[in-house]
Amino acid sequence: MLKLIGAVLILLSGTLAGFHQASRFAARPRQIRELILAMQRLETEISYGFTPLPEAFRKMSDQLGEPLKHIFKSAAGHMASGGGITAQESIQRSLHENWKRTAMKTPERDILHQLSFTLGTSDRQDQIKHIALAAQQLKHEEVVARDEQAKYEKISRSLGLLIGALIVILIF
């Protein structure tokens, strides 16, 4: 009886782990898309609104959903803190603090990290170019992420169940 309960538990957790992995594969392209839209918004704020970076970030975070919201919100918070922190440091610090909550991977993080070096430090045209470049790179990552989603989303769901089953069989 006890064995049976154990087997069910193992199967269940295997399945859950598989579903969790699958949902990350599904969430990544969605979050990248959201990030691309955020970049376009930032471009508008800079090119037409002349909005200072902290305020632009705050506006972006208001319109974004979790977990991306936090990346921009805390970066804006760091910039406004008045502790002599540069925009670059604020963004990088925020990425460090909040990246784990997203489903995105290292390439996307590197793109934002790269962008942090130039944000706020040059004239409008230059800023727009860099943001457009980041958006372009993100689009490329989005395609990759969609491919991965198509390939691995279903597999990881069944794989979870299968691994659970394998462990059960091995134990018995």
**Which residues contact another protein by CB under 8 A?**
46, 50-54, 56, 79, 82-84, 86-88, 90, 119-124, 126-127
List the one residue out of 124, 61, 113, 48 whose CA is nearest residue 87: 113
With respect to another protein, which residue has the nearer C-beta, 24 or 73? 73
With respect to another protein, which residue has the nearer C-beta, 34 or 89? 89
Cα–Cα distance measured from residue 167 to residue 43, given in angstroms and rounded to the nearest whole number: 51
Least distance (Å) between residue 11 CB and another protein:
52
Tokens of 111: 């793109």
Least distance (Å) between residue 62 CB and another protein:
18
With respect to another protein, which residue has the nearer C-beta, 66 or 123? 123
Least distance (Å) between residue 45 CB and another protein:
10
List the one residue out of 63, 62, 68 whose CA is nearest residue 35: 68
With respect to another protein, which residue has the nearer C-beta, 11 or 56? 56
Least distance (Å) between residue 116 CB and another protein:
11
Q: 30: Cβ–Cβ under 8 A, 6 or more apart, which residues? A: none
List the one residue out of 106, 101, 103, 105 whose CA is nearest residue 73: 101
**Are 23 and 41 contacting, i.e. CB atoms less than 8 angstroms apart?**
no
Phi, psi of 11 (to 5 degrees): -60, -45
Least distance (Å) between residue 128 CB and another protein:
9
With respect to another protein, which residue has the nearer C-beta, 76 or 135? 76
